[in-house]
């Protein structure tokens, strides 16, 4: 199975990135984690992206805050799919959201919500599931469980207020 590479702009992003790691572990998806900054070590970040495909990476998740150029800078150096997590580090994360999502045509970054690490991991799993049926089965089971839980809560609320 291809790996998911998690790249964070700073180790201060780790508390959010750990939510993606937890999700990848739940699905038994192999991953690797790195700290590379688009601003503080741009050459190493670019080098990482250039070599990622040949190192068995299938999807890159990039988490960064403030003027968050990491996802775009990695995407500029690979044609692997790149998922950006805007980290709430300043300005309620709006700065990171806009910096991550507003990519010019030709260099896509799939941007999730501010601090949306779980969805970033799930999206990466959905991409890997295109060629890994076992992951597609696990995703479907998780969706069914999510539906069951909501309907259970609905039944409790309806029982309490509608009878």
Judged by the rule CB under 6 A, the positions of this chain that interact with ligand RP5 are 9-10, 12-13, 37, 64-66, 87, 89
Least separation, in Å, of the C-beta of 13 and ligand RP5?
A: 5
Pairing of strands 3-8, 82-87: unpaired
CB of 100 or CB of 125, closer to ligand RP5? 100
DSSP output for 35-88 = E--TTTSHHHHHHHHHHHGGGTEEEEEEEEESS--HHHHHHTT--S-EEEEEE-
Torsion region of 106: left, alpha or beta (phi above 0 gives left; psi -120 to 50 gives alpha): left
Least separation, in Å, of the C-beta of 10 and ligand RP5?
A: 3
CB of 55 or CB of 90, closer to ligand RP5? 90
CB of 96 or CB of 129, closer to ligand RP5? 96
CB of 64 or CB of 135, closer to ligand RP5? 64
Answer whether 132's CB lies under 8 Å from 4's CB. Answer: no
Least separation, in Å, of the C-beta of 24 and ligand RP5?
A: 20
Let me know if 54 is exposed, middle or buried by CB neighbors in 10 A (0-12, 13-18, 19+): exposed
Least separation, in Å, of the C-beta of 37 and ligand RP5?
A: 5
């Amino acid at each position: 199975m291809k790996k998911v590479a998690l790249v964070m702009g700073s180790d201060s992003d780790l508390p959010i990135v750990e939510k993606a790691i937890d999700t990848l572990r739940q699905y038994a998806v192999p991953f690797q984690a790195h700290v590379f900054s688009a601003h503080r070590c741009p050459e190493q970040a670019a080098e990482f992206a250039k070599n990622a495909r040949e190192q068995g990476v299938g999807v890159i998740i990039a988490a960064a805050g403030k003027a968050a150029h990491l996802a775009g800078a990695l995407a500029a150096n690979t044609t692997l799919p790149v998922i950006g997590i805007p980290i709430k580090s300043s300005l309620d994360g709006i700065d990171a959201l806009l910096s991550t999502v507003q990519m010019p045509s030709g260099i896509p970054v799939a941007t999730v919500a501010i601090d949306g690490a779980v969805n970033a991991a799930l999206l990466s799993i959905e991409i890997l599931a295109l060629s890994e049926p076992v992951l597609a089965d696990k995703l479907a089971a998780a969706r069914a469980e999510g539906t069951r839980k909501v309907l259970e809560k609905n039944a409790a609320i309806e029982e309490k207020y509608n009878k």
